[in-house]
Structure 1
């Protein structure tokens, strides 16, 4: 009985004890819950997913378990454990924001550090996460690196007989600081052409007047102007 109790607390650099494993998994779970809370409180999009937040917690905790198992199986295979851990990020989900992928790496880095560090140095993982978390929170709440102007996505449909470069160029010159044609697509069985622009409107311009001019220039066809926040991915 005494030998069993002693084995729970006995550990080496390459073979963590049962108590160390339990503590590491608990710490990893708590830290990854903080990562999930940070993601939720700094999210700025419109497609918030509870399932994704749960995935952050699960990934980080599972990574810790993988690293602990590899350490227990002989030590010098941490690199293999890291490879196995990073391979699990290939799950089927369309990321609507680039920061979603960054949070996956934050969660995995937290799990890796907790699993690889000895029990007496877990405070390093806590400190590192605090530094990163404060930086992320400050950037999100302070709106750091935001664009100076709000950009728009403009979709216009014109008939094939309209020379859209000549028609729209004067309108953009009056109302837009910048206008870039992103795509040209055939629509309605080839009878019309759909154009997509990235547009940055002038502060002095009137959106209603701009839309009216575009409507007339397109031959009274469909015109759609969508605001694009600086933290969203183009699709």
Structure 2
């Protein structure tokens, strides 16, 4: 008798068709969020697995909200079940974390039955993300790089490239000098800041003419210790 009462109480708050509608709407919103993520990601470099995850998150969150409802006992039971699992992932792009919260918010709105609000804020935020991506909001005009130049041992490296560096960079600093090839060559490592519109090929060509066409490395997003 008690089981029948619980079943009846549950059916009054959750019906089969409302559950199907919730899953369909949340899944559709997840696809919209995932497509926005792929279209706005830098130069199209994105993870396929993460894109699929963004599709599933709203549906999973919506189903959880449906199952929990206002029942405190079910909420604590669900929390205990999730505490068993440990989730491990590498640190990613901060924008990826924002998209995860975006998907969770859409799933929460669908789970409580606010489909109109869920669709409204999903569309608005997707449009805003497209606009910000189109205007390249927050892009830096300069970028920091690592420059490694190999010179012969008979060349005085102090100030040898200052005129070229002043021409192509806004800031530079010699941070490491070491010998190589049994002392027959020197390796100079600079940290430099270049404007994005500077011609890197012309910069390297002028350095090559100065160092006798020995090796030159211009690296992005690296530290001097990497060399």
Q: TM-score if structure 1 supplies the norm length?
A: 0.66
Structure 1 distance, partners of 2:44, 2:182, is 34
2:150·2:216 contact (CA, 8 Å) conserved in 1? Answer: no
Q: Tell me the secondary structure at the aligned position of residue 171 of structure 2.
A: strand
2:149·2:217 contact (CA, 8 Å) conserved in 1? Answer: no
- Give per-residue Cα distances to partners, 1:145-168, cap 9 Å, x unaligned: 33345x363431436967766334
2:152·2:211 contact (CA, 8 Å) conserved in 1? Answer: no
Residue among 120, 123, 128 paired with 1:135: 128
Structure 2 distance, partners of 1:138, 1:31, is 19
Residue equivalent to 2:102: 106
2:176·2:190 contact (CA, 8 Å) conserved in 1? Answer: yes
Structure 1 distance, partners of 2:145, 2:54, is 31
Distance change >3 Å, CA 170–CA 54, structure 1 → 2: same
Structure 2 distance, partners of 1:168, 1:21, is 69
Q: How much has 1:184 moved relative to structure 2?
A: 5.2
Q: Tell me the secondary structure at the aligned position of residue 193 of structure 2.
A: strand
Residue equivalent to 1:200: 194
Q: How much has 1:106 moved relative to structure 2?
A: 1.4
Residue among 140, 153, 156 paired with 2:148: 156
- Give per-residue Cα distances to partners, 1:77-119, cap 9 Å, x unaligned: 49x86xx69x98x453563x4422322221222222322x2x2
Structure 2 distance, partners of 1:53, 1:144, is 22
Structure 2 distance, partners of 1:163, 1:98, is 44
Which stretches in structure 1 are left out of the alignment for 5+ residues?
229-233
After superposition, where does 1:44-193 map in structure 2 within 5 Å? 44-71=42-69, 73-74=71-72, 77=75, 90-93=87-90, 95=92, 97-115=93-111, 117=112, 119=113, 121-148=114-141, 151=143, 153-158=145-150, 166-179=159-172, 193=187
**Cα RMSD (Å) of the superposition?**
4.1
Structure 2 distance, partners of 1:185, 1:104, is 45
Q: TM-score if structure 2 supplies the norm length?
A: 0.68
Distance change >3 Å, CA 69–CA 157, structure 1 → 2: farther
Which stretches in structure 2 are left out of the alignment for 5+ residues?
223-227
Q: How much has 1:195 moved relative to structure 2?
A: 2.8
Q: How much has 1:217 moved relative to structure 2?
A: 5.1
Number of residues of Structure 1 aligned to a counterpart in Structure 2: 210
Structure index of larger Rg = 2
